[in-house]
Amino acid sequence: MRLPFDPKTGQLIPSLWDRWLAWDPVRMVPRYADALRGLTAAWIDGGTSDEWYLDIGAEAVVAELAKIGVTDVRFELFEGTHGAIEYRYPLALAYLAEKLSAT
């Protein structure tokens, strides 16, 4: 794996940075808008103490989804970090099963 910056100087390497940005979930929403509008259900959550601040990313994804008209999204921020969140799985699975069984 090549980092998108020079580790000695911190200077971005534009060609690599562009490749990383192409996989940014927030930036991917407009590109996959048609497919995302076809989702039966979406569950997005994040811990408010996530070590990688993915709670902020989750909020950004939800905002981008709203911009393309995907508003039937279950979004939750919960007290917790990025790990030891197995207790969250039954919540997500129950929600998704309910949504899928209604179709």
**Is 65 inside a domain boundary?**
yes
**Is 5 inside a domain boundary?**
no
**Is 9 inside a domain boundary?**
no
**Is 92 inside a domain boundary?**
yes
pLDDT at 17 over 90: yes
**Is 6 inside a domain boundary?**
no
**Is 3 inside a domain boundary?**
no
Confidence tier at 1 by pLDDT (50, 70, 90): confident
Q: Tens of pLDDT along 21-63?
A: 999 999 999 999 999 999 999 999 999 999 999 999 999 999 9
Q: Residue 51 belongs to what domain range?
A: 14-101
**Is 4 inside a domain boundary?**
no
How far apart are alpha carbons 8 and 2 in whole angstroms?
14
Instruction: Please tell me the pTM assigned to this model.
Output: 0.89
- Give residue 55's pLDDT: 98
**Is 42 inside a domain boundary?**
yes
Total count of domains within the chain: 1
| Residues facing residue 74 across a β-bridge | 43
How far apart are alpha carbons 103 and 94 in whole angstroms?
15
